[in-house]
Amino acid sequence: MNLLKNKIALITGSGRGIGKAAALTFARNGANLVVNDLDEDVANQTAEEIRKFGVEAAVCAGDVTAADFPERFLKTALDVFGEIDIIVNNAGFTWDAIIYKMTDEMWDAILNVHLKAPFRILREFGKYLRLKSETEKPMNARKVVNVTSVAGLGGNFGQSNYASAKSGVVGLTKTLAKEWGRFNVTVNAVAFGAIETRLTMEKEGNETADIHGIKIPIGIPKNVRDMFIKMIPMGRIGKPEEAAHSILFLASPLSGYISGHILECTGGLVF
């Protein structure tokens, strides 16, 4: 399969989980990648796996919410590959609490990583598109895929921060689809339900993520996870590879006339 042959794709949070699955799927389809993860060692390991498919991978490790990240992320692609064809905004984590227990810190952290970071990355990409439009006539087709969630479409108990951020991603996606059509850029999003990652594993494992020096519990309680699975018509949690295929579709020529769309990848779960 060569749906993305010689394309240059940038994927945030591509060291683990859905992002890594997407990066490997893109590599199988001929894309060269810029890999990002908070942990540089993890990012480098994913880059090594990517290169086994006969394509190239560069690493831009670090926090997507950092002030210098958008410029550094795009500059990595341009310095190494000289082009940007696809951007996937995937990085994120959850920090749950019912609203009267949710602190400003929890709210701000989730809004920053899930909404402000994609906004700032795409703002930087917009500058690049403006410059390209002066010399590239007609404009080459380019793709943006934002990762949202069913929580952003229908809300979710204990996730007012996450649901609000992911709802904002929907608005951002639909707005940029209107703004960037003239640049021959399609802008779409995938709304995921439950996908098998660290964020959906059983919380009783007591695993944490280190975010800005704060140990944040990851996963969901077993009873909540079991209840959620019962709500899914297909009766199971999705695989990262299945999630990656939905991103691939929106990043490929197969979706060339689709823009401003929110693709639900949920196993039939509807909110």
**Tokens at 204, concatenated:** 């009783």
**Amino acid identity, residue 119?**
F
Cα–Cα distance, 70 to 74 (Å, whole number): 6
Residue keyed to tokens 């996450």:
162
Sequence length of the chain is 271
Cα–Cα distance, 185 to 172 (Å, whole number): 14
Ramachandran bin of 241, using left for φ above 0, alpha for ψ from -120 to 50, beta for the remaining angles: alpha
Cα–Cα distance, 1 to 204 (Å, whole number): 40
Cα–Cα distance, 54 to 181 (Å, whole number): 33
Query: DSSP readout, 52-96?
Result: TTT--EEE--S-TTSTTHHHHHHHHHHHHTS---EEEE-------
Contact 115, 169 (CB under 8 A): yes
Active-site residue flag, 128: no
Q: Residue 213 carries which DSSP code?
A: T
Cα–Cα distance, 36 to 8 (Å, whole number): 14
Task: Out of 100, 128, 162, 257, pick the active-site residue.
Answer: 162
Contact 151, 224 (CB under 8 A): no
Contact 191, 264 (CB under 8 A): yes
Number of neighbouring beta carbons within 10 Å of residue 85: 20
Question: Residues with catalytic annotation?
Answer: 162
